[in-house]
Every structure is written in C-alpha cells, then in structure tokens.
Amino acid sequence: MKKLLIVLTITILTSCTSLEKISFIPGEENLYGIDFKRYSDEGFLVTPEKYLGEYESIGLLTYELVPSSNYRRTGRQPNPNYVHGSTSSGPQFYDIYKWVDEKMDTQQALDSLYNICVKNGANGLMNFRTEEITRAYLGVENPHTVIGIRLSGFAIKINP
C-alpha cells in the first residue's frame, strides 16, 4: 500500500508540468532514395532482391554510419526572475544549449560499403537492406539519442 501511495504521488507531481501549446503543424512531402546508377555504370550490381544468375559468394556485410553530435550553445534567453541590481535573482540571461547532430549522408555510407565490396573482389551486392539505428547516451545530465543508418547485404562476384 505504501508503494502504491508513493507511485501515485510521483505520478501526480510529474503530471503537473506545463507543455507548450502549438496551433499549426505544417504539411510535409518527402522523397527518400539511394542512387545505384553510379555503381551500375562501374559494372557493380546493387539489388534488394536475390541475384538469380551464377555467382561466387564473397560474404555477408554490414556497414553502420552514426554521425557525430556536439552539445553547444545555440542562443540565449532572458531570465524571467531577473531583477535589475539584485544579486539574488540570478543572471540577466541564460545560455541555451542543444545537441546538434552532424548531417548523415546515406549515399556516403553506400559508397563506403561499395568500396569494401570491391576491395574484397565483389561486383555485386544482393539482398541489400537499410535500417535506421540509434545510439542512446543516457544516465548523463544532458541525454541524447543519435540516429544513424545500417546497410547490409550479401557481397557476390557475378560470373560472366
């Protein structure tokens, strides 16, 4: 019973926080794709399907790209409790810090996977897959989750 009372008290206290009110959410149109043409021009096949012709197995490959992220000052905001001339009201402004993630380039990740395939004698990558991955940095004062990408496939050497 005591545990239930503690959980209930914590739930009530944490639900009293105020949330920002929004009145407009803009529409979006997104197109995502990966350009395979540059690899085809080099005689290298990339396909999400199984290759049905003759080939030699090179190996299963997985490549992950997670961008770096920096916690940096992105602005300042006025201190609502500041009283001019008072030393007990705190600073006039507070610095605003946010995590800023480096831009992630899926094409760069595929270029790296392609180079690894070619270095190992492959001229094809079948069963090609992409998926979003995350790296969570928790248990710190400024937690953050970074979003990356995982590319995988079966590297093959296509027989002529």
Task: Identify the pLDDT of residue 6.
Answer: 57
Please determine, for residue 95, whether its predicted confidence score (pLDDT) is greater than 80. Answer: yes
Kindly list the domain boundaries of the chain, sorted by start residue: 34-67+102-160, 70-99
Q: Give the CATH H-level superfamily of domain 34-67+102-160.
A: Hypothetical protein apc22750. Chain B (3.30.110.70)
Residue 88 pLDDT level (bands cut at 50, 70, 90) = confident
With b for 16 or more beta-carbon neighbours within 10 A and e for fewer, the 14-24 pattern comes to eeeeeeeeeee
Task: Identify the pLDDT of residue 91.
Answer: 84
